[in-house]
Structure 1
């Protein structure tokens, strides 16, 4: 398998999950600025959407969209329990989290990463994100991870998007449960391995 990624982007989530899974894969750097691979290949020819992540399977099929990719990876290694079994209420709860993170948190950052958005509009987006993260903080009360005591693929996604907050002036430092969660995630060997591979850790 190949994972097309850009350092620190949302592709860090499936990158972490792949390292948790133990599956063999090749990380391929795809610049979100130039939309080219390191050898000059046009990334649009691989993924017409132009963004990461993209997972290329050994048979040549390609999967896009992070929440789908992480569930696919989890289903290849059911013994690792990275996601509850398909068809169970717990799996729908996982999908509930993945959908919330993608629509309410991930996309909430988009205007803050866009240089064309006027400075006077940014506080509105920051405030909404803080409200959403505050709700997540409450959901983490008394739990190690989003789904309880065990890591799931949703945790990799939450960790990834929460890590963007300091870069765009979203102050979530006062959210104790979320801060403890992020520290717990950062301590996981798979997280450190993925971040080192992306050049995010020395």
Structure 2
């Protein structure tokens, strides 16, 4: 398998999940603005949506969209317990988290990165983010991870998205539980390896 990624983008979650799952894979960096891979390939020919992550399978099929890729990875290594078993209520709780992170947190960061966003648009995004992160902080009280004591692919995703706060000067200090959670996830060997591999830490 090959993961197409951009350092620190949402593809980091899939990178973490692949390492946590103990799967064999390679990576190729993508310049999202130029739509080119590190080898010079046209990324739009690989993923016509033009963004990461994209996971190329052994048979050449390409899977896109982070929440789908994360569950696919988890199901390839069920012994690692990165997702509850299919068909269980807990699996739907995981899907619930992945959808919430994707639509309510991930997308709320977008106006803060976009050069064309007005200050009013950014302020609206900050308010929305604050409300959503406050809710997440409440859910994490007394828990190590989103699903309880077990790390799942949803944690890889939330950790990745929370990491963007520094880049857009969004203050997470009102929620100490989020800082503790981020440190807990960051300490995992697989997370450290993914961060090193993407050049985000030495």
Tell me which interval the TM-score lies in, with the shorter structure as reference length: over 0.9
Mapped contact 2:13–2:160 kept (Cα < 8 A): yes
List, as ranges, runs of 4+ consecutive aligned residues in structure 1 with deviation greater than 2 Å.
Answer: none
CA deviation digits over 1:112-134, x for unaligned, max 9? 11101112431111111011101
Mapped contact 1:129–1:170 kept (Cα < 8 A): no
| Residue 123 (structure 1) aligns with | 123
Distance 1:173 1:159 in 2: 16
Mapped contact 1:130–1:170 kept (Cα < 8 A): no
| Residue 20 (structure 1) aligns with | 20
Tell me the C-alpha RMSD between the 2 structures.
0.8
Distance 2:111 2:122 in 1: 8
Distance 1:83 1:3 in 2: 20
User: Which sections of structure 2, spanning at least 5 residues, go unmatched?
Assistant: none
1:32 is displaced (CA, Å) by 1.2
Distance 1:86 1:44 in 2: 32
| Residue 161 (structure 2) aligns with | 161
Mapped contact 1:21–1:73 kept (Cα < 8 A): yes
Q: Give the SS at the match of 1:164.
A: helix
| Residue 8 (structure 2) aligns with | 8
Mapped contact 1:6–1:30 kept (Cα < 8 A): yes
Q: Give the SS at the match of 2:3.
A: strand
Mapped contact 1:126–1:169 kept (Cα < 8 A): no
User: Which sections of structure 1, spanning at least 5 residues, go unmatched?
Assistant: none
Distance 2:199 2:179 in 1: 22
1:174 is displaced (CA, Å) by 2.4
| Residue 67 (structure 1) aligns with | 67
